[in-house]
Structure 1
């Protein structure tokens, strides 16, 4: 029996080592495949986040451009209104211009019976 174990022992040991090596190799392949899958998922998530960030940046840039356009339009409208007022004032003689400016500053005397009476006269409800 000892002779048989001595003859077959190295073969049995080699077989056990081969089975262990095969098991270890297969286990490593599974771990590599899992890691690769996780990495691919992480890359896909990062690409999706990058796309969202790019879309947000595009939307922000578009909103900034729209705000700039709106501000320019408002400034142009204000400039046009100022020009219109200046032109209408320049057509008036001095007395009419002064009366219009006083009307703008204090309101008309028909709308406000206390006009021209200082700050207490600007609100008809104040006594």
Structure 2
């Protein structure tokens, strides 16, 4: 029996070593496969985050452009209103322009007697 074991012992040892090597190799392949799968998941998540970031950047750029357009429109409207007031005042003679400005600043004299008259209210001939 010992003689048989001595003859077959190295073969049995090599068989055990080969089986162990196959098990280790299979485990390594499984780990590599898991790592590849996890890397693909991470890459997909990173791409999704990149798309979200790009969409957010596009939305911010669009909002900035819209805000700039709104500000330009407001400035143009204010300039037009200022020009309209200046033009309407340029058409009037001095006395009418003064009366118009007083009416604009203090409201109608009919609604508020004595408004905008100041010391001129004491002297009706004075404007």
Structure 1 length as normaliser, TM-score?
Answer: 0.86
- Distance in 1 of aligned mates of 2:47 and 2:15: 48
1:16-95, aligned counterparts within 5 Å? Answer: 16-95=16-95
Alpha-carbon distance change, 65 to 81 in structure 1, aligned in 2, over 3 angstroms: same
- Distance in 1 of aligned mates of 2:16 and 2:81: 97
Secondary structure of residue in 2 paired with 1:31: helix
Higher relative contact order (CA 8 A, sep 6+): 2
1:59-117 Cα deviation digits (max 9, x unpaired): 11111111111111111111111101001001111111111111111111222347348
Moved over 6 A (4+): none
- Distance in 2 of aligned mates of 1:117 and 1:99: 10
Aligned to 1:125: none
- Stretches of structure 1 lacking an aligned partner (at least 5 in a row): 119-127
Quote the RMSD (CA, aligned, Å).
1.6
| Contact 2:102–2:116 (CA under 8 A) maintained in structure 1 | no
Structure 2 length as normaliser, TM-score?
Answer: 0.86
Secondary structure of residue in 2 paired with 1:67: helix
- Stretches of structure 2 lacking an aligned partner (at least 5 in a row): 119-127
